[in-house]
Amino acid sequence: SRLVEPYLDGYATSNVTTQIGTHAYLPCRVKQLGNKSVSWIRLRDGHILTVDRAVFIADQRFLAIKQPDKYWTLQIKYVQARDAGSYECQVSTEPKVSARVQLQVVVPHHHHHH
């Protein structure tokens, strides 16, 4: 019988728009993970942010949350303008299964100082 492989449930690319100062939740919709690891990578600098529950960045705002439906969500607390950009979750399979999330950060108009 063939082993059950992880697969992407949904689109390979998604967009998340978050207001500055709030929390962003980046979805990684991988099903049937089994014992595979899920990594979140910030594509701007190639920095590995999380692998499963472990956080690999010295920034307390990043957290990987395992959802009940087996999704690994990257939480970025108190989003800053520099957090905008592309993030990718990668599953340790061969070939790798990956999903990319484009994070857009918007500033509410009443926060502008002229």
Please report, for the chain, the start and end positions of each structural domain, with discontinuous segments joined by +: 7-107
Domain 7-107 belongs in CATH node 2.60.40.10: yes
Average pLDDT estimate for 67-94: 91
Average pLDDT estimate for 31-35: 83
Asked if 16 and 26 count as a contact pair (C-beta separation under 8 A), the reply is: yes
Task: Assess whether pLDDT exceeds 50 at residue 35.
Answer: yes
- Which run of H or E residues covers position 26? strand 24-26
Average pLDDT estimate for 35-39: 90
Provide the 10 A C-beta neighbour count for residue 42: 19
pTM: 0.86
pLDDT value for 112: 57
Task: Assess whether pLDDT exceeds 60 at residue 53.
Answer: yes
Task: Assess whether pLDDT exceeds 50 at residue 1.
Answer: no
AA identity, residue 27: P
* 95 preceded by a cis bond (ω within 30 of 0): yes
Whose structure tokens read 């899920």?
A: 38
